[in-house]
Amino acid sequence: MLRLLTAIIALASVCAVRAEEMVPLKLDLPKPLFVGTPRPIKVSNLEPAQVGTPPPFMVPAGTVLLSLNKPATSSDSSPVIGELTCVTDGDKSGIEGSYVELGPGVQWVQVDLGAPARLAAIAVWHFHAEARVYHAVVVQLSNDPDFKAAVTTVFNNDDTNADGLGKGSDYAYVETYRGRVIDAKGVTARYVRLYSDGNTSDELNHYTEVEVYGRPVN
Amino acid sequence: MTTSPQQPPGLTRRDFLSAGAKLGAAILAAPYIVRAAAPQEAGDTINVGLIGCGEEGRVLLSAALKIPNIRFVAVCDIWPYNRGYGERLLKKFGHDPKPYEDYREMLSDIPGIDAVIVATPDFMHAEHTNASLRAGKHVYCEKLISNTVEGARSMVATARATGRFLQIGHQRRSNPRYVYAHDRLLGQAHILGRITAADAQWNRAVTEDLGCPAHQEIPEAILHKYGYANMHEFRNWRWFRKYSGGVISDLGAHQIDIFNWMLGANPRSVLAGGGRDYYTNHEWYDNVTAIYEFPTKTGIVRAVYQVETTTSAGGGYHEYIMGDEGALKISENPKYTRLYREARAPEWDKWVSDGLIIRPGTGEGALPPVKPWEKPRPKLSMVSKSDSTVDVRETAELSAWDMPVVLDKAIHQPHLENFFDAMRGKGSLHSPGEVGFATAVTVLKVNDAVAARKMLMFAPEDFTA
């Protein structure tokens, strides 16, 4: 009887979610910035080239930007250039001074939203002044600042398990001014952590902006 | 094994004495002491100083960091932003460089520097290179060797006088695919038949001028001290005549150098057009097209070069060497690299069985195989779907072939390795000062031809430093 009740409640929740009004996520995109001539890219799990404007990413009505000017921390507390404030300062221009460059190898940045929220999407711009691909991109959500408990992975293109978080099957992708919008799947979390392991131009890790969209949990 | 640095190509005893006499006073007046020749042993760590930590300097840093037994001991840049960038980047990789604003201080302060990498704006190449050579350092200097022929000539003379290596950053000359094409395909197999034409292009889309990060401006007095008018010109020096040779130098130099190398000749004339037609706040031309005539051993070759900064159209960046039996399209980007066989040429099966080339559809840069879930790629058809057809039977379609050579390193790494290897007595420089000088003569004359609006002639002796 208890199982049946649980199933009914779960079904009702799903129906409620489905009944939610969905609207396109409105991103404030920076200007295209490719400078210079692209370097050769050899990546095993690169997504097929996309032509034209991508379809809108739909989010529940009432979704807002939660991450602007929220504190960011990192596995590299002493960046090569830039400050960790670049991660959430709203400057997506991609020019010098708008990004933070972390050291080589696997590195992460983490955004603290200040309170748990029901998350709809995470948009990330690593570095869009050049067509390049970041390796082993993994995005995780949690209410644990140490990401040891109740961690949800919402994106993983680490096909060699370079990050040590398990292999993922998402495509690697070329950075552009459009950034990359990742489905946060309605997970409730306070912290967002993004990993990478260098890129096709160098071994370093960059973040121009991370935007977390969702609705506060009341 | 101890070895002496090789004598740069073309250096005779007379050259050495002549240049040495001219430079003697300058060397004696230098504020730092010229060290005795310091032969490198094969496994020795080479201590390196970097002058210029901007974008190109960091590209070279990233490539050099992958080379064993290289230790960066100093970085120099007049901009604290760049200097700190270079310093912190190196520290991430276990180096502990000392930062300097003034290269003179760097050279006098750290006598143990073996080699200097110069990645500053072109108008400073001669000053930085000559000072480093006189201080006893070997020098890797970015291309163009200098924005003036006089500056380039002084660098070659100083290298000869000091007996130090001077490598110019025409990195294609160390790229294994380019080396293979030059030495094996063209040099030994003559696979293209008689070479009759060449072209090359590098087209880039419109870009905005570089700005300055907030609160990072260099004080005006410092800019003036180092020869810059203002921060905008410092950041966008490539567009201004005082500091640079313009786009034909910034982009064209790499590829025009390939004309000289692959054709085994220097040009005898150049006709060019271009203008500052789009970017009204710049001084240099934003588009240039040049036609060279090369008197090669097998006949005249006309080579067309186009560089655009207002469109990325044109199919990437590449050099195209064309003969009566085949053509080689080659680029630093392997996906643009192909060999094409003329239908009239003897079959290339022999070259395949010899391992010289590989059959179409394989090799680095080839299209990946169609995935099971992907639709088959449409085949290119010469037949129009409409009722009316266009007859394209004038000439047979060229078949595409590949080279069995890959580059699995950063594109600048082999050229830096060649430089450091030469210091250790392993091989000779692929792009010594003399090569850089001849390329600069070839390149800079284009700007003269654009201004003169007529064909200009080269004399053979123009290419001798």
pLDDT digits (tens, 9 = 90+) for A20-68: 899 999 999 999 887 666 677 888 899 988 888 889 999 999 999 999 9
* pLDDT in the model for residue B314: 84
| Separation of alpha carbons B140 and B203, rounded Å | 27
Closest by Cα among B142, B20, B218 to B431: B142
Average pLDDT over residues A124-134: 94
Q: Do B213 and A95 touch (CB under 8 A)?
A: yes
DSSP string spanning A128-175?
-SS--BBSS-EEEEESSTTS-SS-EEEEE--TT-TTSS----SPB-B-
The CATH code for residues B13-173 is 3.40.50.720
Write down the pLDDT at residue B399: 83
Residues of A in contact with B211 (CB under 8 A): 95-96
ipTM score: 0.84
- Closest partner CB to B205 (pick from A34, A40, A79): A34
Q: Do A81 and B88 touch (CB under 8 A)?
A: yes
Residues of chain A with Cβ-Cβ distance to B318 below 8 Å are none
Q: pLDDT per residue over B93-147, tens digit each?
A: 999 999 999 999 999 999 999 999 999 999 999 999 999 999 999 999 999 999 9
Mean pLDDT of chain A: 91
Dihedral sign for Cα B55, B49, B119, B127, please: positive
User: Quick one: DSSP state of residue A88?
Assistant: G
Which residues of chain B register pLDDT less than 50? 1-39, 378-386
Asked whether the beta carbons of B121 and B240 are under 8 A apart, the reply is: no
**Nearest C-alpha in B relative to A40:** B333
Give chain B positions within 8 Å (CB) of A96.
81, 210-213
**Could you report the per-residue pLDDT of B353-403, keeping only the tens digit for each?**
999 999 877 655 555 556 555 565 544 434 444 455 555 555 566 788 999
- Taking the Cβ of residue B366 and every Cβ of chain A, the question of whether any pair is shorter than 8 Å is answered with no
Is there a contact between A81 and B317 if contact means CB atoms under 8 Å apart? no
Q: What is the distance in angstroms between the Cα of B453 and the nearest Cα belonging to chain A?
A: 29
Q: Determine the Cα–Cα distance for residues B199 and B59; give it in Å rounded to an integer.
A: 27
- For residue B429, give the amino acid letter: L
- Which of A79, A103, A202 faces B62 most closely, judged by CB atoms? A202
Question: What DSSP designation does B41 have?
Answer: B
Within 8 A of A104 by CB-CB distance, chain B residues are: 92-93
Is the pLDDT at A184 greater than 70? The verdict is yes
Which domains does chain A show, CATH number per domain? Answer: 22-49+58-216 (2.60.120.260)
Distance of residue A71 Cα from the nearest chain B Cα, in angstroms: 20
pLDDT digits (tens, 9 = 90+) for A152-179: 999 999 999 999 999 999 999 999 999 9
**B240's tokens:** 């201004």
In three-state form (DSSP H/G/I as H, E/B as E, the rest C), the secondary structure along B374-391 is CCCCCCCCCCCCCCCCCC
**Rg (alpha carbons) of chain B, rounded to whole number:** 24
Q: What whole-number distance in Å separates Cα of residue B392 and Cα of residue B379? A: 17
pLDDT at B389: 52
pLDDT, position A10:
55
Contacts A48 to B, Cβ<8 Å: 374
The answer to whether the CB atoms of B316 and A37 lie below 8 A apart is yes
- Chain A residues with CB inside 8 Å of B374's CB? 48
- Which residue, B247, B268, B241, B273, is CA-closest to B453? B273
Give the closest of B88, B216, B333 to A97, CB-based: B216
Report yes or no: B216 at the A interface, CB cutoff 8 Å.
yes
Report d(CA B427, CA B420) in Å as an integer. 10
State how far the Cα of B191 lies from the Cα of B203, in Å rounded to an integer.
28
Residue of A nearest to B81 (CA): A81
User: B452: which 2 tokens?
Assistant: 């003169």
> Per the structure block, which two tokens stand in for A5?
């009740």
**What pTM value is reported for the model?**
0.86
HEC letters along B209-267: CCCCCCCCCCCHHHHHHCCCCCHHHHHCHHHCCCCCCCHHHHCHHHHHHHHHHHHCCCC
CA distance B349 to B278: 49
- A contacts of B208 (beta carbons < 8 Å): 31
Cβ(B137)–Cβ(B106) below 8 Å: no
Output the CA torsion B273→B278→B283→B284 (10° steps): -40
Taking CB atoms and an 8 Å limit, are B204 and A36 in contact across chains?
yes
Half-sphere exposure for B42 (CA within 13 Å, toward CB) = 3
């939660």: which residue's tokens?
A66
Distance CA B227, CA B221 (A): 10
CATH number 3.30.360.10 is the correct assignment for the domain at B174-210+219-366+396-412+431-463: yes
Measured distance CA(B297)–CA(A78) in Å, rounded: 58
The contacts found for A114-117 with CB under 8 angstroms, 24 or more apart, are A114/A70, A114/A190, A115/A190, A115/A216, A115/A217, A116/A143, A116/A188, A116/A189, A116/A190, A116/A217, A117/A66, A117/A188, A117/A189, A117/A190, A117/A212, A117/A214, A117/A215, A117/A216, A117/A217
> Chain A interface, mutation test: which of B62, B82, B92, most A Cβ atoms within 10 Å?
B92
- The Cα–Cα gap between B442 and B375 comes to 48
Burial of A218 (0-12, 13-18, 19+ CB in 10 A): exposed
Q: Where are the domains of chain B?
A: 13-173, 174-210+219-366+396-412+431-463
Residue of chain B whose alpha carbon sits nearest to that of A100: B85
Q: Give the pLDDT of residue B11.
A: 38
B88 inside 8 A of chain A by CB: yes
- Note whether B66 contacts A: Cβ–Cβ < 8 A: no
Q: Cβ contact (<8 Å) for B204 and A37?
A: yes
